[in-house]
Amino acid sequence: MKITLPTSPIANHLENPRWPVLIAGPCSAESEEQLLDTARQLKASQRISYFRAGVWKPRTRPGSFEGMGEVALRWLQTVKAETGLPTAVEVATAEHAELALKHGVDVLWVGARSSANPFSVQEIADSLRGTDVVVLVKNPVNPDLQLWVGALERIHRAGITKLAAIHRGFSAYEQSVYRNEPVWNMAIELKTICPTLPIICDPSHISGRRSLVPLVAQKALDLNMDGLMIEVHCDPSVAKSDAEQQLLPADYAQLIFALQLREVTSSKPELRNELDSYRQQIDLLDDTIFETLSKRMAMSQKIGQYKKDNNLMVLQLNRWEDILEQRSRLAAAMGLSSEFAKRLLVLVHEESINLQTEIMNS
């Protein structure tokens, strides 16, 4: 299904038009000093299109820091006046949107919790009618492409054409290396059904921890995403929200300078090298294999702990013979050679036994 969301491009304000749009700034606005300090350093990096800060924070549990509210919009005005950086904030209600516009905010984004709720999105959309503001719509917390598209359509029907989507990952029941599991295929599918819509990746909320942010950012660019939103704080150790995932401005600058910009062979996506597209798919599948292996090993460790607690043997021969026999038959039914499946299972089993032995000896 193709949908038509004619969108005008979002200015990247960078000296090289080929660079992705770069949105950076703290998770939350905490004080005027914190905003100015962070913004000045980001400005000096010359790699920032928009300065972001959360003013109203949607928190999972009550009692956490819920944002400074309207006063922070005045701090953002000061940041803009001093650094010249256009600003971006999250809005969750019509009142937020009206206040943000009144204070000269340039970009509004709809957060993941709001975009999952059509009532909230409609309320925001209605409040934006007649304005020319840039609006970014984060994916809903649950992996539902139609819900994401629906939120974009509601904003678009209110007359907003400077529109982009943000892939910030999806919450999952199972534990994973990510805070919010990326579903790259869904972002690619969104691009396919709506080729004019820019898609920005938020590696900070996908990763949940600093060390993973550069890898996710590079991956987003390799998959031809149009921009990045990255959380940066002048002192993440004292951040009032998302302290684990915010980068120091110097680390942000280093990350951006190290990014590899993929050569675009053609401006028309349909003419892009076919081999390239197959390789991208292979890379995605390989990532899935490793993500699954990582979950598999975490489960082995859990079982190892159980065996230790209950004084059971690590190697359970019958169980292993069953696995080998059943899984290699399943693999053969899936078109894989059973020889290859057995070799792979032996490797996985060896690693599993090693991990469990370590637990026994710990």
Kindly state the smallest distance separating residue 139's Cβ from ligand PEP, in Å.
8
How many amino acids of this chain bind ligand PEP (CB under 6 A)?
9
Which of 27, 199, 201, 234 is in the footprint of ligand PEP by CB under 6 A? Answer: 27
DSSP 19-41: SPEEEEE-SB---HHHHHHHHHH
Q: Which of residues 223-282 bind ligand PEP (CB under 6 A)?
A: none
Kindly state the smallest distance separating residue 27's Cβ from Mn ion, in Å.
3
244: its two tokens: 């684990």
Out of ligand PEP, Mn ion, none, what residue 112 binds, judged by CB under 5 to 8 A for its kind, is ligand PEP
Kindly state the smallest distance separating residue 343's Cβ from Mn ion, in Å.
43
- Residue at 19: amino acid letter: W
Which of 120, 201, 242, 352 is in the footprint of Mn ion by CB under 5 A? Answer: 242
Q: Which of residues 104-123 bind ligand PEP (CB under 6 A)?
A: 111-112
Kindly state the smallest distance separating residue 133's Cβ from Mn ion, in Å.
21
Q: What CA–CA distance (Å, rounded) separates 46 from 61?
A: 37
Contacts with 298 (C-beta within 8 Å, 6 or more apart), sequence order: 175
Q: What CA–CA distance (Å, rounded) separates 72 from 269?
A: 41
Please, how many CA atoms are within 13 Å of residue 19, restricted to the half-sphere of its CB?
18
If binding is defined by CB under 5 A, does position 90 make contact with Mn ion? no
- Residues 71-90 as x/- pattern, contact with ligand PEP by CB under 6 A: -------------------x
Could you tell me which of 93, 174, 132, 152 has the C-alpha nearest to residue 10? 132
Kindly state the smallest distance separating residue 92's Cβ from ligand PEP, in Å.
9
- Residues 16-35 as x/- pattern, contact with Mn ion by CB under 5 A: -----------x--------
DSSP 296-355: HHHHHHHHHHHHHHTT--S--HHHHHHHHHHHHHHHHHTT--HHHHHHHHHHHHHHHHHH
Closest residue to bound ligand PEP by CB: 111
User: Of 81-89, 137-145, 238-246, 349-357, which segment contacts Mn ion by CB under 5 A?
Assistant: 238-246
Pick 186 or 297: Cβ nearer ligand PEP: 186
If binding is defined by CB under 6 A, does position 54 make contact with ligand PEP? yes
Angle 184-89-69 from CA coordinates, rounded to 5°? 135
Kindly state the smallest distance separating residue 27's Cβ from ligand PEP, in Å.
5
Q: What CA–CA distance (Å, rounded) separates 276 from 294?
A: 27
Closest residue to bound Mn ion by CB: 27
If binding is defined by CB under 6 A, does position 167 make contact with ligand PEP? no
Kindly state the smallest distance separating residue 165's Cβ from Mn ion, in Å.
18
Diameter of the chain by CA atoms?
Answer: 71
If binding is defined by CB under 6 A, does position 210 make contact with ligand PEP? no
Could you tell me which of 309, 325, 328 has the C-alpha nearest to residue 317? 325
Q: What kind and span of H or E run contains 196?
A: none
End-to-end CA distance of the chain: 55
Contacts with 32 (C-beta within 8 Å, 6 or more apart), sequence order: 75, 78
Out of ligand PEP, Mn ion, none, what residue 227 binds, judged by CB under 5 to 8 A for its kind, is none
Out of ligand PEP, Mn ion, none, what residue 138 binds, judged by CB under 5 to 8 A for its kind, is ligand PEP
Binding footprint of ligand PEP on the chain (CB under 6 A) = 27, 54, 58, 90, 111-112, 138, 168, 205
- The binding site for Mn ion (CB under 5 A) comprises 27, 242
